[in-house]
Chain A
Amino acid sequence: MTIDSAAMPGILAVGQSNAALATFILYTLGVFVIAALSNRLLQKKAFLSEYFLGSRGLGMWAFALTFAATSASGGSFTGFPAKIYTHGWVLALWIASYMVVPVCTMGLLGKRINQVARMSGAITVPDILRDRFESRFLGLMSTMLMVFFLVFNLVAQFKAGSLILETLLTGVEPFQTQAARVGDWVSNAAKTDGWTFLLDATGNPVDGGYLLCLMTFGIAVIFYTTYGGFHAVVWTDVMQGVVMVFGVAVMLPLALMQVGGLENATQELAQMVPPRPATICVDWGAQKTEDGVLPSGSWVQQPPATADGQPRLFRTTKSALYVAGTSQVCGVEALEILSDNEITRLTGPESPLTFLDAGVAEINEGDTYAYGSEEEHKGSYVTAPGPSRTDSTGFLPLGVAISFFFMWAISGSGQPQYMVRLMAFKDSQTLRRAIITVTMYFSIIYFPLVIIFVCARVLLPGMENEPDRIMPQMAVLLTENAGVGWLAGLLVAAPFAAVMSTVDSFLLVISSSVVRDIYQRNISPDASQRTIKWMSYFCTLAVGLIALFGAISPPKFLQDIIVYVGSGLAACFLFPVVAALYWPRANKWTCIVGMLGGFGAHLAMHLIGMQLNGSFVNAYRLFGLDPVVVGLVASLLSVLIITPLTPKPPEHLVRKYFYRQPAQG
């Protein structure tokens, strides 16, 4: 079997050079060195506080970058660029609330949660709630909610990390060889040995390359997190934060240069309409002599019917097999470019594309976009609400835009994995400086990302069916065009670093909850330091391995769950924690009912959505608002209503946490 080399896309395959592999190896080695150094610190300080909270001694750079890197998950460098590519400039509005995210997520709770955690000696968020209200039930309930939400997220992050690593290493020969071997082994094990966990949701054996990357990525993260604890996570976050900002700093000028300036990119976009899916028959005009593969990403054109007409352009979006003795391959999935300006540019003398030496024999046109394809919506890439394939009201109607202002800035403040970091900084001066640093950091990451991938929409047409690959594709295109292809490996490390920094944080938050809130606080408070130490190692390892196992063949509905749990955590935790920190009248019922109110309302929106729209993820939008806003409002109302109806909190707790403490001695 051959791959039709003439059909290879004009854009180079990702990770062609071994620089990508070298980058990955160097990067991983760096992470392991950091873990070893962190483990030495563990020997010198109080174990639990050091392992899960870095002995509350984070300085400005460590605190700022660990907060920023944890916040910038894999989505920032895969999902977000994919959205910009698919919907255009409206993503600037989608992400706009990041202008206040640092000051909100760090400033609203930071100083106070740090102080309260010090008062009680708490090292986790459930710990704080339990101590603040002296309620074992509240501690256990918040632990359960947190573990429930984060474990699903952890599985998804493992999957994302593996896919990014696979993209990074595609084209590296040693990796391809090993991936093929693993693929053979998986196939045998699944079919002959009955290892059904190696089958994916459709019943096919898991891809060898994916499994290899999952094991490499997963074991590396689990190892350094387990061995090094919080400090290993923080210091690797610092390294990862630097890699991310470096990636953006290199890509921005290259993208602007290669697109001919931002003005040019915007004007091109203003004339564009979204492409249309189609299935086509590719006709070579002569019989093929052997079997072969028509790769995904091949460009093929149908000549114009009239002399002054335009050709029709198609980009294949899935590989197709052809057999010897035939001249056609049919049922090839493709996207048809519909914008006149794109067609003119891509078929002109300066076209960056190489077209297949074949014609199009038959075209079955699919549905156009629900919003953005009509003449009156032309230019939807440069205005709100942006084009949408499925929603006739567009990608970002105003109600949803309002929701996103809550989603990032306010619900971000309610995420326990960020709260834990707020408990770890050294002093309030560190907090002030870190807010300034993260404010500038987010500004130089997120707005430039919008610009870079607006340019990508012009430079890399026809990728709507595989938008998650846009970041690595863009990295390769920009560096190859600039004659610095070796840089691609470093640039693609940015999303990889982003996923890694999120995974390690989640891992530690979950294991700390299990060790501290379940084992030490409920089962064995007088367990020895040595027992706690080994329990911590064991739990981190076990939680990591469970998530790793879950990611081998993630459930089909995983993405639905992720969308749900991402905002569900905030709906549960934000207002109960705010009440615990800032409202002396709050009692344990404030928190319990606030959590259940947020959880219930948020879940109800998804369940109603499932009834009305047939999909759990396509939630019902009450007054056009996202479920997270409904959940937050329900939680706030629950807190405000239940508190006056329930007894006042014990006086000694109010005195302890809200009143000036008498001078010692």
Chain B
Amino acid sequence: MPVMNDQPDYDPVFLHCRREAIVIVGVWVAAMIWTLSSCAATGYADGQDVPTIFGMPSWVCWGIALPWLVADVVAIALCLFYIRDDDLGVAHEGADVAEDIRHRHEGEGDGNA
């Protein structure tokens, strides 16, 4: 992170995006640990006498349906309260192509010279 006065600051949109991405990766890891550990513990078992909850096998209920519900709530909460509304700027349509044209003409100019 630049600290000297003569150095520019990081773009706040970049910083917000990076922080939000880290939290989202955390949500993914948490969902994976919950689901896989729960299903590994109770889902890979004998199926003839599998207990059910709301008609679905209990390992599906605790290991998938419930974390799915929680993940939905967390994702919605992230969107409502954590992810920032940032100004993404104005699109510089054609700026990159204009640059290409400038480079090409500079090249031609050099060649002619």
A and B from one assembly? yes
Interface residue from B14, B44, B46, B68 paired with A379 (Cβ < 8 Å): B46
Question: Would you call B97 an interface residue if the criterion is a C-beta within 8 Å of the partner chain's C-beta atoms?
Answer: yes
A653 and B89 alpha carbons, distance in the complex (Å): 17
Interface string of A95-121 (1 = CB under 8 A from B): 011011011100111011011011111
Question: Would you call A350 an interface residue if the criterion is a C-beta within 8 Å of the partner chain's C-beta atoms?
Answer: no
- The chain A residue sitting closest to B23, CB to CB, is A107
A453 to chain B, nearest CB (A): 13
A residues 117-137 in Cβ contact with B at 8 Å = 117-122, 127, 130-131
Known: A103-B27, A118-B91. A447 touches B68 (CB 8 A): yes
**Are A659 and B88 neighbours in the complex by a CB distance under 8 Å?**
no
Interface residue from B50, B56, B84 paired with A428 (Cβ < 8 Å): B84
A103 and B39 alpha carbons, distance in the complex (Å): 22
Interface residue from A97, A115, A130, A264 paired with B88 (Cβ < 8 Å): A115
A122 and B32 alpha carbons, distance in the complex (Å): 34
A591 and B84 alpha carbons, distance in the complex (Å): 28
Known: A384-B39, A428-B86. A440 touches B72 (CB 8 A): yes
Known: A384-B44, A398-B36, A435-B79. A525 touches B100 (CB 8 A): yes
> Which residues of chain B are within 8 angstroms of A96 by Cβ–Cβ distance?
35, 39, 63-64, 67-68
A267 and B57 alpha carbons, distance in the complex (Å): 9
**Are B72 and A655 neighbours in the complex by a CB distance under 8 Å?**
no
Instruction: Give the interface size class of chain A.
Output: 35 or more
Interface residue from B43, B46, B65, B95 paired with A120 (Cβ < 8 Å): B95
A581 and B84 alpha carbons, distance in the complex (Å): 18
**Are A383 and B36 neighbours in the complex by a CB distance under 8 Å?**
no
Interface residue from A119, A427, A436, A520 paired with B92 (Cβ < 8 Å): A119
**Are B56 and A262 neighbours in the complex by a CB distance under 8 Å?**
yes
**Are A118 and B14 neighbours in the complex by a CB distance under 8 Å?**
no
A89 and B35 alpha carbons, distance in the complex (Å): 15
> Which residues of chain A are within 8 angstroms of B57 by Cβ–Cβ distance?
89, 266, 382-383
Interface string of B17-35 (1 = CB under 8 A from A): 1101100110110011001
- The chain B residue sitting closest to A259, CB to CB, is B55
A46 and B44 alpha carbons, distance in the complex (Å): 56
**Are B20 and A432 neighbours in the complex by a CB distance under 8 Å?**
no
- The chain A residue sitting closest to B104, CB to CB, is A525
Known: A262-B56, A263-B52. A118 touches B88 (CB 8 A): yes
Question: Would you call A606 an interface residue if the criterion is a C-beta within 8 Å of the partner chain's C-beta atoms?
Answer: no
Question: Would you call A401 an interface residue if the criterion is a C-beta within 8 Å of the partner chain's C-beta atoms?
Answer: yes
Interface residue from B56, B68, B91, B101 paired with A526 (Cβ < 8 Å): B101
> Which residues of chain A are within 8 angstroms of B76 by Cβ–Cβ distance?
436, 439
> Which residues of chain A are within 8 angstroms of B56 by Cβ–Cβ distance?
89, 92, 262, 266, 451
Interface residue from A89, A409, A436, A525 paired with B101 (Cβ < 8 Å): A525
A143 and B24 alpha carbons, distance in the complex (Å): 29
Question: Would you call A49 an interface residue if the criterion is a C-beta within 8 Å of the partner chain's C-beta atoms?
Answer: yes
A100 and B31 alpha carbons, distance in the complex (Å): 7
**Are A121 and B91 neighbours in the complex by a CB distance under 8 Å?**
yes
**Are A121 and B96 neighbours in the complex by a CB distance under 8 Å?**
yes
A382 and B35 alpha carbons, distance in the complex (Å): 17
- The chain A residue sitting closest to B77, CB to CB, is A436
B95 to chain A, nearest CB (A): 4
A402 and B39 alpha carbons, distance in the complex (Å): 11
Question: Would you call B112 an interface residue if the criterion is a C-beta within 8 Å of the partner chain's C-beta atoms?
Answer: no
Known: A265-B55, A266-B56, A526-B101. A582 touches B21 (CB 8 A): yes
**Are A118 and B90 neighbours in the complex by a CB distance under 8 Å?**
yes
Interface residue from B16, B43, B97 paired with A525 (Cβ < 8 Å): B97
Q: How many A-B residue pairs have CB under 8 A?
A: 228
A135 to chain B, nearest CB (A): 12
A residues 383-399 in Cβ contact with B at 8 Å = 383-385, 398
**Are B13 and A92 neighbours in the complex by a CB distance under 8 Å?**
no
Known: A96-B64, A118-B91, A447-B68. A379 touches B50 (CB 8 A): yes
A217 to chain B, nearest CB (A): 34
- The chain B residue sitting closest to A375, CB to CB, is B48
A219 and B89 alpha carbons, distance in the complex (Å): 39
B87 to chain A, nearest CB (A): 8
A46 and B96 alpha carbons, distance in the complex (Å): 15
> Which residues of chain B are within 8 angstroms of A315 by Cβ–Cβ distance?
none
> Which residues of chain A are within 8 angstroms of B12 by Cβ–Cβ distance?
660
**Are A93 and B35 neighbours in the complex by a CB distance under 8 Å?**
yes
> Which residues of chain A are within 8 angstroms of B64 by Cβ–Cβ distance?
92-93, 96, 99, 447
Question: Which of A49, A56, A90, A111 has most chain B Cβ within 10 Å?
Answer: A111
B residues 77-113 in Cβ contact with A at 8 Å = 78-80, 83-97, 100-101, 104
**Are B32 and A97 neighbours in the complex by a CB distance under 8 Å?**
yes
> Which residues of chain A are within 8 angstroms of B89 by Cβ–Cβ distance?
115, 118-119
Question: Would you call A410 an interface residue if the criterion is a C-beta within 8 Å of the partner chain's C-beta atoms?
Answer: yes
Question: Which of A103, A122, A377 has most chain B Cβ within 10 Å?
Answer: A103
A261 and B56 alpha carbons, distance in the complex (Å): 10
> Which residues of chain B are within 8 angstroms of A661 by Cβ–Cβ distance?
11
> Which residues of chain A are within 8 angstroms of B9 by Cβ–Cβ distance?
659-660
The 9 closest A-B pairs by CB, nearest first: A379-B47, A262-B55, A383-B47, A121-B95, A112-B17, A263-B55, A99-B71, A659-B8, A379-B48
Give 25 A-B contacts (CB < 8 Å), ordered by A residue. A92-B60, A92-B64, A93-B64, A96-B63, A99-B68, A103-B24, A111-B13, A111-B83, A112-B13, A112-B17, A115-B13, A115-B86, A115-B88, A127-B96, A383-B43, A427-B85, A428-B84, A429-B85, A432-B79, A432-B85, A435-B75, A439-B72, A525-B101, A582-B18, A659-B2
